[in-house]
Structure 1
Amino acid sequence: MNDVRSELVSDPVSQPGSVAAASSDLAELDAAIPHCTACPRLVEWRERVAREKRAAFRDQGYWGRPVPGFGPHDASIAVVGLAPAAHGANRTGRMFTGDRSGEVLYRALYDVGLASHPRSESLGDDLTLRSTRITAPVHCAPPANKPTPGERDTCGSWLTRELELLRPTLRVVVVLGAFGWQSLLPIPDSAGWRVPRPRPKFGHDAHVRLPATDDGADLHLLGCYHVSQRNTQTGLLTPEMLRGVLHHAKELAGLGDS
């Protein structure tokens, strides 16, 4: 195990399952994720985007690597999306940062008291999240925003370990979109919660309580339409709807008003 950990920062990670399992805390996990090279199609795409860039960002350096989760290591709420955007998080290195989806999400988090600022600009800003961590089932930007099932499953070991490490404090997971919902459902059984059978279906405002299988607290899953530009521009997801789900998450997590 120590041999694996010593390679987290310096060497490429071709077997995320073993490295994720060997991470003893979220700091180690977050340090390992950017070095993952397990999915050749995603590696080629994220690096090509980082070289070619979008014209509006021509003078900026791109992150061009897998993007780790963002937020405190004792979070009681997790927000799970889909994957980094090619010119958003793949450029900035922070989940939901640098694109319009992120603008909607961070504004809502700020409005309900879960973010210190209404905008997430870059890794160098002073934004902090309150009791909330943002992550995804796939950590690399995928072509056309569509990971394959194999890529989702390969990357799933990172999310599994992330939830295991958050187990002592995690009370609520807000899942943005059906892809994240389906990606997440196999995980809680290994992290201390029991998923009902048949598996619950995704829907906006869906709420499922997962009973604990250990001495810890139960986990609440909340569904929310994804904050994609298409959903927000068409009105499928409004700021009020998003704030409503986040307020519900705060209540279930036992967080007071702020």
Structure 2
Amino acid sequence: MPPTGPATPAQVASVAAAAPDLAAIDAVLPTCRACPRLVAWREQVALEKRAAFRGETYWGRPVPGFGDVHARVMMVGLAPAAHGGNRTGRLFTGDPSGDFLFAALHRTGFASQPTSRSRSDGLVLTDLRMAAPVRCAPPANAPTPQERHTCGPYLARELEILDPAVVVVLGGFGWKAVLATLAEQGWHVPRPRPAFGHGVELVLAGSDPSVPRPPVTLLGCFHVSPHNTYTGRLTPAMLDDVLLRARALAALD
């Protein structure tokens, strides 16, 4: 792909801040080339492929958010999987983490179907939008702090536009990223920063009393990676409980 999109952190910040809506964010994201290590890795994976997907054309670009543009609930993970979102072009689509997650989203009324295999499979999310702090598949599934910081303006602008009542955060990396992003947006985030934990609830209010804004609630949830789901650290019932709590807090029922 020619380097037509943002290629520096400053350009990322500029184009994200200028995006008028979520569609604009989703359009510019796949053109981003601001993190050289991630660009090289995502494109290498897309070229070499996994044997099971040898006949497929990998997305091999940053993965935009997905879901209801009027959602009251936002879900924030970590980053696209090398052979999941980096292959299909949609977060959590086509990998074991997504299999576990979408089944739960279907059970709890957020997803139109329990599986997700491709961007064209007809899946619809209602009252929920997915995003990630880092939009390119990282080596060893481990983005650097600088890569999170560079990619952060995309998530910040999505949160600003959507203004969700609830943010479900999958894992500690996403928790730290969301807290940092909300603090930058003028929310009062306590110091020291509240620790991540499964089932943790954190209600944040705006830090400027002259700018009234409804509170936002963060819900912590163990990440849906096989490391957690295959070992029983995160069970279907545990995930359902978090999602149902999100529904209740967002007054969706």
Normalising by structure 1, report the TM-score: 0.93
- Structure 1 match to 2:154: 158
Q: CA deviation at 1:199?
A: 1.4
Instruction: Give, in whole Å, the separation in 2 of the partners of 1:195 and 1:254.
Output: 24
Instruction: Give, in whole Å, the separation in 2 of the partners of 1:11 and 1:27.
Output: 18
Aligned residue runs from structure 1 range 35-74, under 5 A? 35-74=31-70
Instruction: Give, in whole Å, the separation in 2 of the partners of 1:192 and 1:41.
Output: 31
- Structure 2 match to 1:243: 240
State how many pairs are aligned. Answer: 245
Instruction: Give, in whole Å, the separation in 1 of the partners of 2:15 and 2:192.
Output: 32
Instruction: Give, in whole Å, the separation in 2 of the partners of 1:120 and 1:193.
Output: 34
Instruction: Give, in whole Å, the separation in 1 of the partners of 2:28 and 2:5.
Output: 9
Amino acid at match of 1:198: P
Aligned-residue CA RMSD in angstroms? 1.1
- Structure 2 match to 1:82: 78
Which ranges in structure 2 are unaligned for 5 or more consecutive residues? none
Instruction: State whether structure 2 residue 13 is matched by structure 1 residue 13.
Output: no
Instruction: State whether structure 2 residue 136 is matched by structure 1 residue 136.
Output: no
Instruction: State whether structure 2 residue 178 is matched by structure 1 residue 184.
Output: yes
- Structure 2 match to 1:127: 123
Instruction: Give, in whole Å, the separation in 1 of the partners of 2:105 and 2:214.
Output: 24
- Determine if contact 2:170/2:220 at 8 Å carries over to the other structure: yes
Instruction: Give, in whole Å, the separation in 2 of the partners of 1:198 and 1:171.
Output: 23
* SS in structure 1 at match of 2:241: helix
- Structure 2 match to 1:196: 190
Which of 193, 215, 230 is the equivalent residue of 2:227? 230
Which of 191, 201, 205 is the equivalent residue of 1:207? 201
Q: CA deviation at 1:231?
A: 0.4
Normalising by structure 2, report the TM-score: 0.94
Q: CA deviation at 1:192?
A: 5.2
Amino acid at match of 1:245: V
Instruction: Give, in whole Å, the separation in 2 of the partners of 1:166 and 1:179.
Output: 21
Deviation by residue 1:41-78 (Cα, 9 ceiling, x = unmatched): 00000001001100000001100000000011111101
- Determine if contact 2:171/2:223 at 8 Å carries over to the other structure: yes
Instruction: Give, in whole Å, the separation in 1 of the partners of 2:185 and 2:25.
Output: 16
Instruction: Give, in whole Å, the separation in 2 of the partners of 1:72 and 1:217.
Output: 20
* SS in structure 2 at match of 1:175: strand
Q: CA deviation at 1:201?
A: 0.6
* SS in structure 2 at match of 1:174: strand
* SS in structure 1 at match of 2:4: coil
Deviation by residue 1:127-146 (Cα, 9 ceiling, x = unmatched): 11111001100000000000
Which ranges in structure 1 are unaligned for 5 or more consecutive residues? 1-9
- Structure 2 match to 1:25: 21
Between stretches 94-103 and 11-20, larger displacement belongs to 11-20
Deviation by residue 1:191-231 (Cα, 9 ceiling, x = unmatched): 45321222111000000000134322110000000001010
Amino acid at match of 1:70: F
